[in-house]
């Protein structure tokens, strides 16, 4: 039994059924495609589930996550980065994010990390703030 | 007509015009290379600044930005698997694997030359076939557009990836994502679950960056101590160009440029569709289709010449009929009107120097890509990969954040991008192809809208979808692709079941 195929088939089947079920409540022709797509997804998920059940258990596939610690540290840093962006400001948060992430990912040359972070953020500032004048979250020390 | 065309050449070659072409092309490459920025945004920002300029200079900047950005979008697609523009989706399929295999330089050079060739062919089509091709667009109604969308969606779902059902499920998932938000025809909210954010639906560029760019970045972070990129990737100068590339890719370039020109003249069908159809066709005709998606330069040649060949041809309906084929064409019409020129058939008689001069500018900027793209931009951007992985990961994440944030100025978009990134990561690990998901988001709404318009016009008579000759032609093509793929799957399965299991000896 190939658990991944069985499980992914089940998930797609559930998404298909839910899409069709919710879609059936839409008004007139607004429902055609949602119902059609939902039904098609459920239909195509069935062979995947069946193949998963009768499939070869010996088949090797790559692990879902190679290195869970680094994977979740990266994700956590991203969430924290997005959370702090509107509070601290784009350029300050981005500079801190580059420095912290680089150190967490194993870069052990602080001077290189700081230099790259500062030059990179300066280039972004020049392009987005000075040339293109794109509005980005304001720095906390500049907010009135 | 040809007399007016050649009369306009000196106008396009004036020093001011040439300067605007160089500045526009360089700016276009930079804009295309930055995810989140696109030529539409850049041209819209630039137009008000050109009020005081001669129209030919303003149009030169437009031509440069438009052609430059098509190649620019390929640079992050190849180096980082982030499509700089939606039209660069198909470039990631083989571009990024080539970078991983140590052929980043060759991938960039192939993309640059292919973009330039596609742009030149498209400009020549604009100059010579404009009035004739404009008539073709009028023959396309909602039923034909519906089949074009279905053809694009189905062919990519069955051609990409090893598993037919996984490809189709991916495409259907994309269509469902594309359904979220207010229905444009009836105004009804669909799958919004009371969320104000979902009312507007998912922005394509956010889905695109999330699905495509986050998974390789997470993988890069996981493997930080292992060699992620091959050092040979950086050597651009050592890669053969010019005649060598011409010899290898002329068939692909010709076929893809033709597809790009045909797609370009259809209003609403953009460079992304042209690139994907060209890629599919190149894969279908290749003697080694299994090498596609693993780093085959022919895939890049097809995708890039296809999306660039869409550029000038998209101007055909707008210049000849006054009907803009895409947003850039609409902005070109806006630029003409700003300068007191009325788009439409009379434009060719009232202001031939401007309209034919613009055609020459489209050709010249495509040719400039050989120089500016190959010698300057490619060498400069290839240096990005020299950064250590531990620094490349956070800087790329910041670049993605700025690209996504600038779309709507909403922090929630960043979380949505990350969520799509996780979905993409999971699908990738479960061996579901990601390209059909993106294509589903892109073509699903186009297919639905045209299907419903066709039904509305025919008063719910479904035969309207099958009775028109162009529709029948597209359906025949669709069946050929589907049946040939089913036959290939059948043969592959028969061969694998006939072969003795490994290790049984």
Residue B501 forms part of a structural domain: no
Which pair of tokens denotes residue A108? 């052990």
| Closest residue by Cα to residue B428 from B234, B276, B212, B236 | B212
User: Smallest Cβ distance to B395: which of A30, A37, A98?
Assistant: A98
Residue A141 forms part of a structural domain: no
Are residue A36 and residue A74 in the same domain, yes or no?
no
| % residues pLDDT > 70 (chain A) | 92
Are residue A103 and residue A49 in the same domain, yes or no?
no
CA distance B488 to A73: 43
Residue B477 forms part of a structural domain: yes
Q: Does B444 touch chain A (CB under 8 A)?
A: yes
Question: Hey, are the CB atoms on A78 and B173 less than 8 Å from each other?
Answer: no
pLDDT tens digits for range B319-367: 776 666 666 777 777 777 777 777 666 777 777 888 888 889 989 988 8
Q: Residue B420 in contact with residue B215, Cβ under 8 Å?
A: no
Are residue A41 and residue A73 in the same domain, yes or no?
no
Whether A20 has a pLDDT exceeding 90, the answer reads yes
Split at pLDDT 50, 70, 90, the class of B504 is very low
**Section B56-77 average pLDDT:** 85
Residue A98 forms part of a structural domain: yes
Residue A136 forms part of a structural domain: no
Q: What is the chain A residue with the closest CA to B43? A: A132
Whether A36 has a pLDDT exceeding 60, the answer reads yes
**Section B25-54 average pLDDT:** 73
Residue A23 forms part of a structural domain: yes
- What contacts B217, CB < 8 A, 6 or more positions away? A74, B80, B393, B396, B397, B400, B421
Question: Hey, are the CB atoms on A71 and B221 less than 8 Å from each other?
Answer: yes
Domain that holds residue B180: 2-491
Question: Hey, are the CB atoms on A27 and B179 less than 8 Å from each other?
Answer: no
| Tokens 């640059």 sit on residue | B112
Mean pLDDT, chain B, integer: 81
* Total Cβ atoms within 10 A of residue B349: 9
* Total Cβ atoms within 10 A of residue A28: 9
Q: Residue B336 in contact with residue B347, Cβ under 8 Å?
A: yes
Q: What is the domain count for chain A?
A: 2
Which pair of tokens denotes residue B471? 């529709």
Residue A142 forms part of a structural domain: no
Are residue A73 and residue A127 in the same domain, yes or no?
yes
Residues of A in contact with B499 (CB under 8 A): none
Q: What is the chain A residue with the closest CA to B402? A: A136
Question: Hey, are the CB atoms on A37 and B176 less than 8 Å from each other?
Answer: yes
Whether B2 has a pLDDT exceeding 80, the answer reads no
Whether B22 has a pLDDT exceeding 80, the answer reads yes
Give the CA-trace dihedral at B137, B141, B146, B147, to 10 degrees: -70
CA atoms within 13 A of residue B503's CA, in its CB half-sphere: 2
Residue A35 forms part of a structural domain: yes
Domain that holds residue A46: 3-54
Determine the pLDDT at residue B329.
77
CA distance A102 to B224: 10
Residue A61 forms part of a structural domain: no
Q: What is the domain count for chain B?
A: 1
Q: Residue B309 in contact with residue B319, Cβ under 8 Å?
A: no
Question: Hey, are the CB atoms on B179 and A16 less than 8 Å from each other?
Answer: no
Whether B502 has a pLDDT exceeding 50, the answer reads no
Count residue pairs from A and B with Cβ separation < 8 A.
163
Whether B505 has a pLDDT exceeding 50, the answer reads no
**What is chain B's length?**
505
User: Smallest Cβ distance to B398: which of A26, A67, A94?
Assistant: A94
Residue B496 forms part of a structural domain: no
Question: Hey, are the CB atoms on B169 and A12 less than 8 Å from each other?
Answer: yes
Residues of A in contact with B452 (CB under 8 A): 29, 32-33
Question: Hey, are the CB atoms on B394 and A102 less than 8 Å from each other?
Answer: yes
Whether B176 has a pLDDT exceeding 90, the answer reads yes
Residue A34 forms part of a structural domain: yes
Where helices occur in B161-314 by DSSP H, the ranges are 164-179, 196-199, 204-222, 243-264, 271-285, 297-313
Angle at B127 between CA B125 and CA B133, to 5 degrees: 55
| Closest residue by Cα to residue B72 from B124, B120, B123, B36 | B36
- What contacts B457, CB < 8 A, 6 or more positions away? B141, B142, B464
The CA distance from A45 to the nearest CA of chain B, in Å, is 7
Q: Which of residues 182-241 of B touch A (CB under 8 A)?
A: 183, 185-186, 188, 190-191, 217-219, 221-225
Optimal mutation site among A18, A24, A36, A44, interface B, most CBs of chain B within 10 A: A44
User: Smallest Cβ distance to A30: which of B183, B225, B429?
Assistant: B183
- What contacts B345, CB < 8 A, 6 or more positions away? B320, B321, B322
The CA distance from A143 to the nearest CA of chain B, in Å, is 17
Highest mean pLDDT: which range of B243-252, B258-267, B475-484:
B475-484
The CA distance from A64 to the nearest CA of chain B, in Å, is 6
DSSP annotation of B160: S
Which pair of tokens denotes residue B330? 């609409």
Split at pLDDT 50, 70, 90, the class of B133 is low
Split at pLDDT 50, 70, 90, the class of B425 is very high
Are residue A84 and residue A120 in the same domain, yes or no?
yes
Are residue A41 and residue A82 in the same domain, yes or no?
no
pLDDT tens digits for range B370-418: 888 766 766 776 666 667 888 888 988 998 888 788 878 889 999 999 9
| % residues pLDDT > 70 (chain B) | 83
Whether B266 has a pLDDT exceeding 50, the answer reads yes
Q: Residue A128 in contact with residue B406, Cβ under 8 Å?
A: yes
| Closest residue by Cα to residue A82 from A70, A67, A73, A93 | A93
User: Smallest Cβ distance to B224: which of A12, A29, A70?
Assistant: A70
β-strands B189-190, B181-182 pairing? antiparallel
Q: Residue B479 in contact with residue B471, Cβ under 8 Å?
A: no
| Tokens 């967490």 sit on residue | A104
| Tokens 């604009």 sit on residue | B126
Look at B239 and B364; give whichever has higher pLDDT.
B364
**Section A35-61 average pLDDT:** 82
CA distance B197 to B154: 30
What ranges make up the beta strands (E) of chain A? none
What ranges make up the beta strands (E) of B169-319? 181-182, 189-190
B81: region left, alpha or beta (phi > 0 left; psi from -120 to 50 alpha)? left
Split at pLDDT 50, 70, 90, the class of B503 is very low
Whether A1 has a pLDDT exceeding 70, the answer reads no
User: Smallest Cβ distance to A74: which of B45, B221, B429?
Assistant: B221
pLDDT tens digits for range A76-94: 999 999 999 999 999 999 9
Residues of A in contact with B178 (CB under 8 A): none
User: Smallest Cβ distance to B390: which of A44, A67, A105?
Assistant: A105
The CA distance from B172 to the nearest CA of chain A, in Å, is 6
Are residue A124 and residue A90 in the same domain, yes or no?
yes
Are residue A24 and residue A76 in the same domain, yes or no?
no
Split at pLDDT 50, 70, 90, the class of B191 is very high
Determine the pLDDT at residue B324.
66
Are residue A40 and residue A84 in the same domain, yes or no?
no
Determine the pLDDT at residue A87.
92
Determine the pLDDT at residue B342.
72
Q: Which of residues 46-105 of B touch A (CB under 8 A)?
A: none
| Closest residue by Cα to residue B354 from B12, B51, B6 | B12
Kindly write down the DSSP assignment for every residue of B9-63, as one continuous string: HHHHTSHHHHHHHHHHHHHHHHHHHSTT--HHHHHHHHGGGGTTS-HHHHHHHHH
Q: What is the chain A residue with the closest CA to B399? A: A124
Q: Which of residues 464-503 of B touch A (CB under 8 A)?
A: none
Q: Report how far Cα B473 is from the mean position of its chain's Cα atoms.
A: 24
Question: Hey, are the CB atoms on A116 and B222 less than 8 Å from each other?
Answer: no
Q: Residue B306 in contact with residue B296, Cβ under 8 Å?
A: no
What ranges make up the beta strands (E) of B335-492? none
């Amino acid at each position: 039994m190939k658990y991944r195929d069985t499980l992914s088939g089940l998930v797609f089947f559930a998404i298909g059924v839910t899409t069709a079920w919710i879609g059936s409540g839409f008004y007139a022709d607004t429902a055609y495609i949602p119902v059609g797509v939902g039904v098609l997804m459920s239909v195509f998920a069935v062979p995947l589930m069946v193949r998963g059940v009768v499939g070869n258990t010996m088949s090797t596939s790559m692990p879902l996550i190679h290195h869970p610690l680094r994977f979740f540290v990266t994700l956590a840093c991203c969430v924290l980065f997005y959370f702090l962006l509107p509070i601290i400001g784009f350029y300050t948060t981005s500079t801190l994010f580059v420095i912290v992430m680089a150190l967490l990912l194993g870069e052990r040359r602080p001077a290189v990390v700081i230099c790259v972070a500062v030059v990179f953020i300066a280039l972004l500032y020049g392009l987005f703030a000075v040339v293109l004048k794109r509005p980005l979250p304001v720095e906390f020390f500049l907010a009135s | 007509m040809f007399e007016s065309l050649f009369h306009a050449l000196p106008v396009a070659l004036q020093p001011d015009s040439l300067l605007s072409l160089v500045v526009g092309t360089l700016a276009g490459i930079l804009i295309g290379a930055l995810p989140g920025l696109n030529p539409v945004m850049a041209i819209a920002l630039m137009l008000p600044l050109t009020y005081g300029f001669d129209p030919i200079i303003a149009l030169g900047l437009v031509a440069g930005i438009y052609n430059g950005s098509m190649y620019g979008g390929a640079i992050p697609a190849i180096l980082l698997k982030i499509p700089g523009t939606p039209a660069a989706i198909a470039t990631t399929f083989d571009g990024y694997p080539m970078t991983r295999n140590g052929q980043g330089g060759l991938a960039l050079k192939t993309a640059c030359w292919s973009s330039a060739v596609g742009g030149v062919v498209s400009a020549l089509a604009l100059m010579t076939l404009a009035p004739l091709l404009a008539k073709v667009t009028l023959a396309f109604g909602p039923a034909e557009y519906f089949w074009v969308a279905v053809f694009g969606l189905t062919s990519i779902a069955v051609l990409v990836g090893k598993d037919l059902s996984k490809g189709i499920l991916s495409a259907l998932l994309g269509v469902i994502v594309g359904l979220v938000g207010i229905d444009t025809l009836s105004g009804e909210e669909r799958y919004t679950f009371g969320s104000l954010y979902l009312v507007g639906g998912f922005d394509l560029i956010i889905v695109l960056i999330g699905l495509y760019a986050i998974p390789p970045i997470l993988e890069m972070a996981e493997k930080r101590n292992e060699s992620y990129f091959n050092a040979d990737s950086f050597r651009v100068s050592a890669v053969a160009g010019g005649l060598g590339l011409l010899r290898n890719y002329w068939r692909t370039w010709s076929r893809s440029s033709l597809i790009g020109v045909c797609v370009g003249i259809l209003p609403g069908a953009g460079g992304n569709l042209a690139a994907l159809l060209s890629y599919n066709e190149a894969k279908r005709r290749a003697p080694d289709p299994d090498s596609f998606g693993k780093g085959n330069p022919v895939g890049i040649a097809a995708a890039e010449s296809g999306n660039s060949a869409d550029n000038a041809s998209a101007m055909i309906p707008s210049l000849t009929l006054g009907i803009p084929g895409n947003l850039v064409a609409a902005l070109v019409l806006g630029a003409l009107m700003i300068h007191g020129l009325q788009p439409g058939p009379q434009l060719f008689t009232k202001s031939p120097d401007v309209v034919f001069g613009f055609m020459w500018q489209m050709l010249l900027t495509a040719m400039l890509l050989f120089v500016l793209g190959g010698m300057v931009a490619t060498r400069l951007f290839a240096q990005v990969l020299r950064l250590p992985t531990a620094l490349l990961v956070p800087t790329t994440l910041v670049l993605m954040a700025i690209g996504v944030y600038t779309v709507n100025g909403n922090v929630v978009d960043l979380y949505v991008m990350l969520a799509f990134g996780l979905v993409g990561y999971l699908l990738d690990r479960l061996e579901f192809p990601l390209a059909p998901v993106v294509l589903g988001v892109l073509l699903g709404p186009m297919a639905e809208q045209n299907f419903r318009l066709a039904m509305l016009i025919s008063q719910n008579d479904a035969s309207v979808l099958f009775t028109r000759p162009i529709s029948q032609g597209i359906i025949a093509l669709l069946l050929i692709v589907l049946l040939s793929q089913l036959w290939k799957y059948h043969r592959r399965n028969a061969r694998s079941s006939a072969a003795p299991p490994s290790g049984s000896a």
